[in-house]
Structure 1
Amino acid sequence: MSTRRIPASPFKALQNIRKRRSRSAPPTLRKPLIEQHFRVEHNPQGRKEVLPGAINHGDDWARDTHDFFNLIVLIPIVALNVMNWNWEILMNLNKKQTVADAWTGDWFDFFFWTTLMYFVADLVWILTIPNSVKSPNVIIQHHLVTMLYILVPFYKPSVRWCMGACMSVEINTWFLIARRVFNKQGFPPWIIDLSFVSIRIKLISICFYVTWISIRCILYPLMMSYIFNRWFKESERVGTYVNLELVPVILHAIFCVLNLKWTVDLTMSKVRYFQRRRRNGGAAAEKYSTGL
C-alpha cells in the first residue's frame, strides 16, 4: 500500500521563511526598538532591564545624518501644527467647548502635504539606507500606517483637528532624537551639575518624559475614546459595524497598543532593575549612574 506524502501547510512554510529571514538579518536590524533609545541589559533570569541614563552613542554617519534630518524637518511640521490652533480658545475651554472648537485649520493644506512629504522622504531614506535606524522594519511599518491614517482627515474635514492632536506626538519624537543627538556620551541627566551641558541634557530629558506621558499615555487614549464613539454612532446610523469609521478605530488602536507596550516595557524594566539593585545592596549597579 503506497503512502502519500502530506504537503506542508502553507502557513507553516511561511513561518519558516520568516524565521530564516529573521536569522539572516544583521544583528543591528534585529534589535528591539526600545534598545535604540535606552540602555538595556539581560539579568541572570534572561529578562531585559532598562538601565538609568542614556545610551553612549559612537559616531555613525548614517544614523547621525538621519537624526539631524529629523531634527530639522520635524520643526516646521510641529510649527505648522501649532499654527492651525486658536491657542486662546484651547487654553481657556469652557464647559460648552471642545478641543475641536480650537482648531482653525487655516494652514491645514500646507500642514498635511508637509507631513506627507516628510513621511515619504523618511520612508525612502530608510529603505535606501536601512542601517540609519536600528529597527527599520518597525519604522517602515509605522510610516506606512501613518500615511494611511492621515488620509482620513484629508478626506473628512470634520476630523482634521484629530490629525493636529495626534501629530503632536512628533514633539516627543523630536525630544527622543535630541536626547540621543545631544548626549552621545550617555551622561546621566539627573546628576547635580550646573554646567551648560548638564542643564541642556536635563531640559531635554524633562521635556522628553513630560511629552511622553502627556501625549502617548494620556492624549492618545483620550483620542481613542472619541474615535470609538464616532464609529459607534456611525454604526447605529448605517445599521452595521463595518463602515468607514472603523478604519481610524483600527489604525489609532495600533498606535495606542504600541505606546502602551513601549511604556510598559520601559517602566517594568526600570522597576525590575531597581528591585535587583536593592536586593544586591547597589553593588551590582554601581557602574551605572542614577537617573532615568
Structure 2
Amino acid sequence: MDKFQRKTFKTSDGADLSYISAGRGKSIVLIHGWSQSAEQFKYQIPVFAERYHVIAVDLRGHGESEKVTYGYRLSRLSKDIQELISVLQLEKPHLLGHSMGCAVIWSYLDLFGQDEIDRLVFVDQSPLYTSRPHWDSQEMEEAGAIVTSEQLNEVVYALESSEAEEVTRNTLAPMVTNAMPKEQFEWMVQCNLRCPRAIAATLLYNQFHMDWRDQIVKIRKPTLIVAGRKSIIPWKSQVWINKSIPHSELEIFEEVEGGGHFMFIENPEKFNRRVLQFLECSITHAL
C-alpha cells in the first residue's frame, strides 16, 4: 500500500480525513466497513487502478484519518463522502461499499439523491441489523437481523470495557471462513483496533438501529450485490436487496470460494473479476 499516494482533506466540520488515490480515468470510491480502513482494499486498489481512478477513504476515526470526538453517525459519514466527491470534483463516480460502507452509501442516496452517482456495488450489508420482537424467521432473514437490542447493548458495553480487544477478536472471528490464514486474520484485527474502541462502539450502536429498507427500494442505479453464503449476514437478505432494486445483479460466494463477510480479502481474484465485469458491461435496460 505504500506505493499509493496518501492525501488528506478537511471536512466542513473540521475533521482531517485520509484517503488513497491511485490510477486514472473514471473514478470509483471505495468505502470500508465498521472499524476497518482503506487498507482492507489492498487487493482491490492496484487491480482497479489499472482501469480506474481509485479513491479509498479512511472514514473519520478510522485508519489514518483524524480521531475527532464528534460526528460518529451514518448521516455525517455520508456527508463526508459527499464533500470528498465535491472537493475532488469527481464526475459521477461509481461507489463500492463493504458492510457499513453500504449503509454510508444508502445514507448518501437518502440525503443527496442518485443523480451524481453512476454504478453501485454493495458488499454484504444488512438492511437492518437489529431484530424486532414480533418478527418471524423469514422477516429476520430478509432484513438481515442478527442481534436483539439486548445483545447489541451488551456488545457496545463490552467494546468500551477492559476486554475490548478480546471482544473485537470474538466479533471478527465468525466473519471469516476457516480457510483464512491466522496471520491474515491478525492483520484484520490490528486494522480494526486502529479505530478507538469508544468510537467503534458509538458507530456500531448507530448503524445497527438504522432501517434502510425504504431507501433500498428506491434505488434505480445499476447495482451489484455481493454476498457470502457463510457470512454472518444472512444471504437471504442480499436476495431481498437484489429483488428490491430493479435489474440489479447478485453474486453469492460459496464457502469454498471464501464466502464469508470478507470475501474480497479471502478470494480477491474472483471478487475483482466480478466487480470489473459489472462496471464494464453495457446496461441495456431503461433506468
User: Which of the two has higher C-alpha Rg?
Assistant: 1
Higher helix share: 1
TM-score bucket of the superposed structures, by smaller chain: under 0.3
If asked which structure has higher relative contact order (CA below 8 Å, sep 6+), I would say 1
Higher strand share: 2
Q: TM-score, normalised by structure 2?
A: 0.28
